[in-house]
Amino acid sequence: MMNEDTTQVEFIASSGNVFADMGLEDAEEFLTRAKLGAAVRRIIENRHLTQQKIAELLELKQPEVSNIMKGKYHLFSEARLFGFLNRLERKVTIQISTHHAGEAFIDVAVES
Tens of pLDDT along 15-64? 788 888 888 888 889 989 999 999 999 999 999 999 999 999 999 999 99
Reduced to 3 states (helix: H, G, I; strand: E, B; else coil), residue 2 is coil
Helices (H) and strands (E) in the chain, counts: 5, 0
Residue 12's pLDDT is: 79
Residue 105's pLDDT is: 79
More confident residue, 66 or 103: 66
Phi, psi of 29 (to 5 degrees): -65, -45
CB 54 within 8 A of CB 66: no
Residue 81 pLDDT grade (very low, low, confident, very high; cuts 50, 70, 90): very high
Residue 15's pLDDT is: 79
Domains, the chain, ranges and CATH?
Answer: 20-87 (1.10.260.40)
